[in-house]
Chain A
Amino acid sequence: AQSVTQLDSHVSVSEGTPVLLRCNYSSSYSPSLFWYVQHPNKGLQLLLKYTSAATLVKGINGFEAEFKKSETSFHLTKPSAHMSDAAEYFCVVSDLGDDKIIFGKGTRLHILP
């Protein structure tokens, strides 16, 4: 069965500095991996997805993530944080052999002025 672990429940960075949100996954088959963002009192929006094509995936709002099979990781990065990036971020795994979509516990990103 698939699972996902987000290593930090909270991350704080200063505006203009890089962002790193860490995610490790476990999957029995070839996984599809996603990052979703949730702004306060809002629904969830897809940032980016990996589905066995290029290992470096670019998403919206300047975010990107790299799939590393050897490390079973799919960390989310952004070169320069903006105040509007403050939100909760979820790493998600889904196996092609299993239709479940499993969420990590989430990482709340705080942007300091």
Chain B
Amino acid sequence: GQNIDQPTEMTATEGAIVQINCTYQTSGFNGLFWYQQHAGEAPTFLSYNVLDGLEEKGRFSSFLSRSKGYSYLLLKELQMKDSASYLCAVYTGFQKLVFGTGTRLLVSP
């Protein structure tokens, strides 16, 4: 089966740093995606990791450890507009994405 877990909700203050974790157990692995989704909107692509290590892209960074089945998304210098759901998704192959439970992040002033 496929199992991708994330914390349900997180809160943080503006300007802070937050780390959203994702653990996965899937039947195949060809990479891990992070998406941002605002309420009522489609997910937007943030990052893709297929090799172990840290990928940095501006205020957002994503880390992957394939041996541990673990990834995290790091958001720095939080802004109010970062309040959204963050979805971890594993690309299992055959173009199929399996999404995690999603983490709702609330950024407060």
Asked if chains A and B come from one complex, the reply is no
